[in-house]
Amino acid sequence: MQEKVDLYPSRVKETATIMERKDPIVYSREKGPLDREEVAFYEANGYVMLERLFQEDEVQVMANQLDEVMKQNQERDSDEVIKEPDSNEIRSVFEVHKDNGFFEMLSKHERIVAIAEQLLGSQVYINQSRINFKPGFKGKEFFWHSDFETWHVEDGMPNMRAVSCSIILTDNYEFNGPLMLIPGSHKWYVSCAGTTPDNHYKSSLKQQVAGTPDHTSLQWLTEQAGGRIDRATGPAGSVLFFECNTMHGSNANLSPYPRSNVFFVFNSIENQLQAPYSGKQPRPEFLANRDSITPIQPVKDSIAQHAHATK
């Protein structure tokens, strides 16, 4: 049996350290929908925002479908349904690529899958999916973190070869708590201090503690970026692809306007999950898909045709 090497140890020491990334950022740059400039931007910054990748009528369909799923889940008591720390409002519903016909189709849609395949240089599958709803006035902040740190330590994702795809369903302004990203932070790995508690996911989805990067590392990363922190603002229908190790967070939403999106994590079919590096039990399937993994066969469905399914 092959020995498992932990390229990215974290939560194993009392102090945090920063190390260089050991994996490529872009696995295949020529083939695919993104042009050279877009790929270069993603490689340099750890993300790329594609303005209005979906049209207004398509966004309307997605928003209606999202509302429908929120309504269906309002009274559902399930780990897959995440509520705000201080209220009964739903923040996220997970596993929509399995539980809902429309979002299953969307998760396979060629317009996004082909980009994930291009960046990851292979066929891909969904590691995690969710729809997010950050309500006006009440949406709480989420502190800086690298998704990969958690996916590696708690889920056993071996390499940095995954990309998150966020389809923005409401206009994202500077003032309604947009995702903030530290450009270039994906080139470094912050090994966090501390250890992973049992069943950490039950609290970390509301407010993360273990796996939270230290202030010194965050300041260092920001200084590497020339003091710049970017915000994923843009009109509804835009799509943000961000690398699994890009440091990101978001402020509270003090505005009256909700911020909702559909969120798919594409992982390379060659980067499937192993046993968690924490030595703990794996997190549940809805957070980290392991069952019956097969590569996505992209579909070219018309999104607009789903307009009437939920009305």
Interface residues toward a copy of itself, by CB under 8 A: 136-137, 141, 143-144, 173-175, 177, 180, 215, 218-219, 222-223, 227, 229, 231, 249, 251-252, 254-257
Report the nearest approach of a copy of itself to the CB of residue 152 (Å): 23
Report the nearest approach of a copy of itself to the CB of residue 102 (Å): 29
Q: Cα separation of 23 and 19, whole Å?
A: 12
Report the nearest approach of a copy of itself to the CB of residue 263 (Å): 20
Report the nearest approach of a copy of itself to the CB of residue 91 (Å): 17
Q: Cα separation of 106 and 266, whole Å?
A: 13
Nearest to a copy of itself of 18, 180 (CB atom): 180
Report the nearest approach of a copy of itself to the CB of residue 142 (Å): 9
Nearest to a copy of itself of 139, 237 (CB atom): 139
Q: Cα separation of 270 and 267, whole Å?
A: 8
For the chain, the farthest-separated pair of C-alpha atoms sits apart, in whole angstroms, at 56
Distances (CA, A) of 32 to 8, 41, 113, 230, 257: 29, 15, 10, 26, 35
Strands 248-250 and 179-181: antiparallel
Report the nearest approach of a copy of itself to the CB of residue 231 (Å): 6
Nearest to a copy of itself of 13, 215 (CB atom): 215
Q: Cα separation of 39 and 33, whole Å?
A: 10
Nearest to a copy of itself of 181, 265 (CB atom): 181
Residue 260 near residue 170, CB atoms below 8 Å: yes
Nearest to a copy of itself of 182, 303 (CB atom): 182
Residue 272 near residue 124, CB atoms below 8 Å: no
Nearest to a copy of itself of 6, 174 (CB atom): 174
- Return the DSSP state at 71: H
